[in-house]
Amino acid sequence: MKPAVSARPSPLTIAIRIGRGAVFAARRQPATAGAFVLTVGLFAAATAHSLGFASLSNVRTLSIFAAFVGLAAMGETLVIIAGGLDLSVPWLIDFGGIALSQMHRGLHISLPLILLLVVLLGMVLGAVNGLLVTFLRAPPLIVTLGVGGLIEGYLVAVGTLQSSGDVVPDGIERFANARIGPFPDITLVWLALAVVAAFILSRTSLGRRIYAVGDNARAARLAGIHVERVKFATYVISGATATLAGVLLTGYIQTAYVGMGGDYLFGAIAAIALGGTALLGGTGSSWGTVAGACTLTVLAGLLPVLGLNTAAVKIVYGAIILAGVYFARAVQQIGGGRHGAEALREVQTLQRASGMEAMDTHHMGAAGRSMARHSAISGQ
């Protein structure tokens, strides 16, 4: 018998510990784990097809593209968990890039100050979204679409950039293409912010309230939560992360133009859905979106490698989104406790039944909607 455990744990114990940690995390967020498994699977398939896929430079490039999707989707994840939707993301990205270049040309202030200003302006635009959604009580889909249109109009009005190369600040170009050790800066920024977002969701009162508002806005109001303020905050955060994504994208592609964010309109939402966040709100996680962004990016990188043409890439892309969302939901039901899912269904039956009672009072609005929403989840 050895008297004491050796100071250095063996690699095996470390591996076991990591494994246990992973299993624990996977139990808590099965959909996230599922999306990561899907990513790894796709990656392995691509590598099996051509070894070059696993090369450091390719992985690096993939991680950068994943970062753009991830950043664009980060704030929107919060918006969606709170039961909203932000379709202005692509125009916020455009805005980030173009505003950066414009300010660089027009204002003679230091780059960090410009960056700060651009992100602040992005938050203001997000705030406009938030104000309109909460005050008008209008469907977020329309409001954010409208605000996106206004941003686009403004960007077209101030004029697209003639010669692109020299108007993007050198500093941001250097930053976007640099790396610390083996990791690209952009990827690190993304992951750091993902940690922050996950922290906000799981460890702060704001995060709790975001989940509460998305799960049951009526209950949240009666529980003393300022529903409007919470929703507003999510749109502001979304404005910030989307604008930041635009800034970094401009640095990386060394140009800025109206329409450069176009791919992220539905791409961001697809990443969020793949990560197991229901578009109806109330559930989901920021790590899920990270995983979803990875899945989408690996997929987008893998399909051309397999020799598929653009058309086939699109088809498979769509199919994987559907399969992935289906998979995420299935996994969530098994991992998240079959018991819970069953109970939820039962409760929904009860709600539908008790809904009738709620209806005979004139006060059926919120209850009815919430019921409809929940029965939409169960698909009945």
Provide DSSP, 213-278. Answer: HHH-HHHHHHTT--HHHHHHHHHHHHHHHHHHHHHHHHHHHT---TTTTTTHHHHHHHHHHHTT--
Nearest to other proteins of 105, 338 (CB atom): 338
Q: Which candidate, 233, 319, 283, 272, places its Cα nearest to that of 42?
A: 319
- Footprint on residues 215-274 left by other proteins (CB under 8 A): 215-216, 218-226, 266, 269-270, 273
Write the CB contacts of 19 (distance below 8 Å, at least 6 apart in sequence): none
Closest distance between other proteins and the C-beta of residue 99, in Å?
Answer: 15
Nearer to other proteins, 19 or 340 (CB): 340
**Cα 360 from chain centroid?**
40
The CB-of-305 to other proteins minimum distance in angstroms stands at 17
Q: Does 156 bind other proteins (CB under 8 A)?
A: yes
Give min distance, CB of 132 to other proteins, in A: 6
Cβ atoms of 133 and 230 within 8 Å: the answer is no
Judged by CB under 8 A, does residue 280 bind other proteins? yes
Q: At its nearest, how many Å lie between other proteins and the CB of residue 46?
A: 19
**Does residue 131 belong to the site contacting other proteins (CB under 8 A)?**
no
Nearer to other proteins, 14 or 138 (CB): 138
Smaller CB separation from other proteins, 114 or 133: 133
Listed ranges 1-9, 14-22, 46-54, 372-380: which one lies at the site for other proteins (CB under 8 A) = 372-380
Q: Which is nearer to other proteins, 171 or 259 (CB)?
A: 259
**Cα separation, 98 vs 258, whole angstroms:** 8
Asked whether 248 and 189 are in contact (CB, 8 A), the reply is: yes
Determine contact, residues 65/297, Cβ cutoff 8 Å.
yes
Interface pick for other proteins out of 86, 94, 152, 185 (rule CB under 8 A): 152
Q: For the chain, what's the residue count?
A: 380
Q: Residue 45 — φ and ψ, nearest 5°?
A: -60, -45
Window 337 to 366, contacts with other proteins (CB under 8 A): 337, 339-340, 343-344, 346-347, 349-363, 366
Toward other proteins, which CB reaches closer, 44 or 156? 156
- Scan residues 289-318 and list those touching other proteins (CB under 8 A): 309-318
Single out the residue of 147, 172, 176, 294 in contact with other proteins (rule: CB under 8 A): 147
Q: Which is nearer to other proteins, 55 or 349 (CB)?
A: 349
Q: Which residues contact 92 (CB under 8 A, 6 or more apart)?
A: 122, 125, 126, 148, 151, 238, 239, 242, 243, 246, 261
